[in-house]
Amino acid sequence: MEKGTVYLVGAGPGDPDLLTVKAARLIAAADVVVHDGLVDDAILALTRADARLISVAKQRSRHSVPQEGINAILVREALAGHAVVRLKGGDPFIFGRGGEEVDACRDASVPVEVIPGISAAVAGGAQTLLPLTHRDASSAVTFVAGQCKGLSDQNWAGLAGKGRTLVIYMGVATADGISEKLIADGLSPDTPVAVLERVGRKDGRALRTILTDLGGMIAREAVRSPAIIIVGDVVLMSNAEDRLAALAREAEYLA
C-alpha cells in the first residue's frame, strides 16, 4: 500500500479568509483531519463530507491526547494510505509543536509537508493596527512562551525595551510573574503593554495598560486564553483600548 502524506497546516487565527490558498485546498481534499480545539468551526466546515475529523483539543494546559499519541495517529493514518491534515491554530512552527510532529513522521519514513499559517502575533498586530516593527520605534521582535517550566530561571534581559518588541504567547495565567520578571530584568514599570484576546474572532478584544498593571488589568477585565501579550512602545500606535486611563476616569467619576 502506498503511504499517504501528513500535512501540517496552519489554520491561522480563526478567520477562514486568512487561510492560505494551499491550506484551504488541502483541508478540502483531506481524508483525515486531526485538529486542535482552537480551530474555528468555519474552517472545519471546509472539510469533505466523508472526511474523518479527529479532535485532539487541549484543555487546562494538557492535551486530551498526549503529544506522543497525536504523533502516533498521524503516522498510523498516513501508513494506511490516507491524506492527513494536521490542522493547527496559528502557524505549526510557532509554539505549535510542529517540529515534534515532523520528527515523528521522519522517524516512520512518512512523507510530511508544512503549510505555514498566520500566527496570532501577526494577525493581532494587523487587526489592531499595531506594527510589530517600526522604523521609529522597533527594529527587533522576539516571540517567547509565557507558560513553561522554569519561567523564573529564564533570562529575558534585552528582549524588551527601547527599540524592541516582545510578544508573549500563553502568558495570561502567569501575567503577574511575567510583569515582575521583566521589571526585575530592568524594564520600566511604565512600559506600554497590550493584551490581544481571541485574535481574529468576532468576540476578540484589544486592551492596553502599562507593565506594572498587566496582571491587574487581566484580572479586572477577566481576560481568558487564547490571548497574547505585546510589550513595547509600538503598543501606543495601536487602537487597543487604554484600560488604565478608563480606570482612572471611573475612579475620578466616583470620587
Give the separation between CA 134 and CA 115, rounded to whole angstroms.
Answer: 28
Catalytic residue among 22, 58, 107, 176: 58
Catalytic residue among 36, 88, 181, 213: 36
136 is catalytic: no
List of residues 6+ apart from 216 with CB closer than 8 A: 209
Q: What is the 3-state secondary structure (H, E, C) of the chain?
A: CCCCCEEEEECECCCHHHCCHHHHHHHHHCCEEEECCCCCHHHHCCCCCCCEEEECCEECCEECCCHHHHHHHHHHHHHCCCCEEEEECECCCCCCCHHHHHHHHHHCCCCEEEECCCCHHHHHHHHCCCCCCECCCEEEEEEEECCCCCHHHCCCCCCCECEEEEEEECCCCCHHHHHHHHHHCCCCCCCEEEEEECCCCCCCEEEEEEHHHHHHHHHHCCCCCCEEEEECHHHHHCCCEEHHHHHHHHHHHHC
Q: What is the dihedral of CA 15, 63, 61, 230, to 10 degrees?
A: -30
185 is catalytic: no
Indicate which residues carry an active-site annotation: 36, 58
